[in-house]
Amino acid sequence: MGRRITGPRATTAFATVDLDKPGKQTGFVMIPHSPHEDAWGVTRIPIGVIANGEGPTVILEGGNHGDEYEGPIAIAELIRDLDPGEVQGRLILMPANNVHAAMAGRRTSPVDGLNFNRTFPGDPAGTITQQISAFMTDEILPRGDAFLDLHSGGSSLDIIPSSVVEPSEDKELLRKSIEANRAFDAPAIVVISNLGDTRTATASAMASGLITVGTEMAGGGTVSIDALEICRRGIRNVLAHLGALPGHAIELRNGNRKVLELPGSSAFVYATMDGVFEAFHHNGRDVKAGEPAGRIHCPWDPTRPPETLAYNADGILYGRRQPGRVQPGNCCLVVAAPYGEEL
């Protein structure tokens, strides 16, 4: 029925593909799942493996969050369209890793309520989401030389289409990752540390020594025509840059731009009250710390004046909240600034 997985931590997962076999395979990673509706069922995580000859192993992940669509579309296309003869090395293609969330169109899993991208290194004896991240940690990342983690802004943010660099103390790995990000050729490259949170897929990949490219492809809970085109071209550019798709000519449209970063907690403007948020500026605008950024209205209490929010950092407006309705602590705006080191 499937190939039992054996790794450093005991797991009940098994697969319908052989991760180390040459050729092209499409199937599922199966994790036993016993909810009320299905006593002996499984959660099926789709996976494709395309392997041919000698070369790097590149892992492509989509659906880390279930309301981010450009990456999953592009990865599923590669599974259908790529011939093994076009590949040098191995591609491990996973278009909907947070599969329950992907099917529900939600950031978090409707099964256990967890954010997949805050569960690494996972737990093979934990909830379904923790078991999926454990499988990635134990079985997928150790096979890789490079990792592409394709995100968008999801339902709550509209973000400038960009590739994302995960910080690392390993300067050579960081340099290689930035070069791979340059090959992706999004309109912006942004270093994002998630405020130092190491429970993410890209943090785990960098800690494992993999050249790593993340993305933020627009968002707003839609499929952006422009961002999907950037994502499709960027994936093939990176695969060619790494030597895994030698027949593809790298197409650069945005030049060798400078690298940006989110400057810690000052990058974010948070809601201070319950209400409706009005942003003052469009993405891409230069902004200054202390400058009015937007305001929150309370239409159900017209006696209450709106509260004005201000930027906390100089830079450019990188992302804006998509739904107008906010509650205290919601992220309303994100500012990116020039990266502190030139690479």
Res. 50: pLDDT tops 60:
yes
pTM value is: 0.94
Distance (Å, whole) CA 232 – CA 215 = 12
Average pLDDT in the chain: 95
Res. 340: pLDDT tops 80:
no
CB 273 within 8 A of CB 206: no
pLDDT tier at 257, thresholds 50, 70, 90 = confident
Residue 256 confidence (pLDDT):
65
Residue 153 confidence (pLDDT):
95
pLDDT tier at 69, thresholds 50, 70, 90 = very high
Higher pLDDT, 154 or 9: 154
pLDDT tens-digit map of 114-172: 999 999 999 999 999 999 999 999 999 999 999 999 999 999 999 999 999 999 999 99
* Buried/exposed code over 97-132 (b: 16+ C-beta within 10 A; e: otherwise): bbbbbbeeebbbbebeebbbbebbbbebeebbbbbb
Neighbours of 142 (CB within 10 A): 14
Res. 343: pLDDT tops 60:
no
Complete domains list, the chain, with CATH:
3-257 (3.40.630.10), 264-338 (2.40.50.100)
Residue 8 confidence (pLDDT):
72
Adjacent-strand bridge partners of 28: 46
CB 58 within 8 A of CB 183: no
Secondary structure class of 296 (helix, strand, coil) = strand
pLDDT tens-digit map of 203-250: 999 999 999 999 999 999 999 999 999 999 999 999 999 999 999 999
Res. 66: pLDDT tops 70:
yes
Residue 97 confidence (pLDDT):
97
Secondary structure class of 300 (helix, strand, coil) = coil
pLDDT tier at 255, thresholds 50, 70, 90 = confident
Distance set, CA 64 to CA 31, 313, 333, 334 (Å):
17, 29, 22, 21
pLDDT mean over 4-18: 82
Residue 9 confidence (pLDDT):
87
240 contact partners, CB below 8 Å, separation of at least 6: 183, 246, 248, 249, 250
Task: Pick the range with the lowest mean pLDDT from 8-12, 34-38, 219-223, 335-339.
Answer: 8-12
Secondary structure class of 128 (helix, strand, coil) = helix
Residue 7 confidence (pLDDT):
62
